[in-house]
């Protein structure tokens, strides 16, 4: 099962502090995961992806995220290490992949983007082959052409895009992003019921428009366990001891940095809160009127 992390900060943060330096970063989780459900595939060596937004909007560069992917194991990619040391961003997605559906290719590595929207998934859509044609038929011609790979996750992204009122909008309110997430999960559940699928789907989705982050921890079952998902926030995220020992410092009530991750990036239990099963969480700009 995949490992992922989403980070939003009021000031740009160096990617190395999130991806490569922490002792339990998602790169180290790729071969030393503590909380994964699927123990049959204990190594996340099927590629990785990192997506980030520019610190300052540049009209020439556009507002879309930049995404770097590779099919090599994340822990053995020198380019990732170099990039992480030289790039700062206020909003970062990181993902290491263990295949459950789809071939080993860059197209199948998370995250994916369309315009300003970026999306990644941990889990799997149960018996996806039984609902794939139905899902595809529900999409417009434009959205149908978005997926370039063959994973259930990327088609879930396409379905999410189809739930946005205007996929080309320059701005998305937290309400719109949240509503699209709920409708995507509901649509997947309906297709599963109609197809007679009883195996549960694990739908830990995370989406952003570069400003708001919306994440789900969801399993389509009343008895099965959902894939793990944790939340942390504070004023600073810093290395307090050599060897990649990080902690989330909370000097006041401000949330200068928030993290959502498959499992904690630090060994400080007080830093992290487990997100409840079948819960939707979001982090949005303080000037938003969403509650």
Tally the C-alpha atoms within 13 A of residue 168's C-alpha that lie toward its C-beta: 2
Under 8 Å between Cβ of 201 and 188: yes
Angle of helix 152-162 relative to helix 174-194, nearest 10 degrees? 120
Give residues with Cβ within 8 angstroms of 91, minimum separation 6. 6, 7, 8, 9, 52, 53, 208, 210, 211, 213
User: H or E element: which one contains 10?
Assistant: strand 3-14
User: Quick one: three-class SS letters along 50-96?
Assistant: EEECCCCCCCCCCCCCEEEEECCCHHHCHHHHHHHHHCEEEEEEEEE
pLDDT for res 46: 66
User: Largest Cα–Cα distance of the chain, in whole Å?
Assistant: 54
pLDDT for res 287: 44
pTM of the model: 0.89
Average pLDDT along the chain, 291 residues, taken 10 residues at a time? 89 92 78 52 67 89 91 80 94 82 74 97 95 97 95 97 96 96 98 97 97 97 91 92 88 90 88 94 61 26
Predicted confidence (pLDDT) per residue in 63-113, tens digit: 899 999 988 776 778 898 899 999 999 999 999 966 565 566 788 899 999
User: Catalytic amino acids?
Assistant: 2
pLDDT for res 5: 94
pLDDT for res 199: 95
Sign of torsion over alpha carbons 128, 130, 135, 141: positive
pLDDT for res 269: 84
Give residues with Cβ within 8 angstroms of 240, minimum separation 6. 246, 247
pLDDT for res 1: 61
pLDDT for res 44: 46
Domains plus CATH for the chain?
Answer: 3-283 (3.60.20.10)
Strands of the sheet with 279-283, listed across from one edge:
112-114, 117-124, 202-208, 213-217, 279-283
């Amino acid at each position: 099962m995949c490992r992922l992390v989403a980070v939003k900060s009021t000031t740009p943060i160096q990617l190395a502090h999130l991806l490569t330096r922490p002792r339990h970063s998602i790169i180290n989780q790729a071969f030393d995961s503590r909380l994964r459900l699927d123990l049959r595939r204990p190594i996340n060596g099927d590629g990785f992806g990192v997506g980030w937004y520019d610190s300052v909007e540049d009209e020439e560069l556009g507002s879309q995220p930049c995404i770097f992917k590779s099919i090599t194991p994340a822990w053995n990619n020198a380019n990732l290490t170099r990039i992480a040391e030289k790039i700062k961003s206020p909003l970062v997605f990181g993902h290491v992949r263990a295949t459950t559906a789809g071939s080993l290719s860059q197209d199948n590595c998370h995250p994916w983007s369309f315009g300003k929207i970026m999306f990644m998934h941990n889990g799997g859509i149960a018996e996806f082959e039984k609902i794939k044609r139905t899902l595809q038929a529900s999409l417009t011609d434009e959205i149908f052409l978005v997926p370039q790979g063959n994973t259930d996750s990327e088609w879930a992204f396409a379905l999410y895009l189809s739930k946005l009122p205007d996929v080309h909008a320059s701005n998305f309110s937290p309400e719109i992003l949240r509503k699209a997430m709920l409708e995507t999960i509901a649509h997947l559940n309906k297709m599963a019921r109609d197809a007679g699928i009883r195996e549960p789907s694990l739908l830990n989705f995370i989406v952003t428009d570069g400003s708001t982050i919306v994440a789900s921890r969801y399993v389509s079952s009343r008895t099965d366990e959902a894939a793990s998902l944790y939340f942390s926030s504070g004023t600073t995220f810093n290395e307090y001891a050599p060897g990649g020992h990080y902690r989330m410092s909370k000097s006041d009530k401000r949330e200068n940095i928030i993290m959502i991750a498959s499992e904690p990036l630090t060994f400080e239990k007080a830093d992290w809160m487990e997100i409840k099963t079948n819960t939707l969480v979001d982090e949005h700009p303080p000037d938003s009127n969403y509650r």
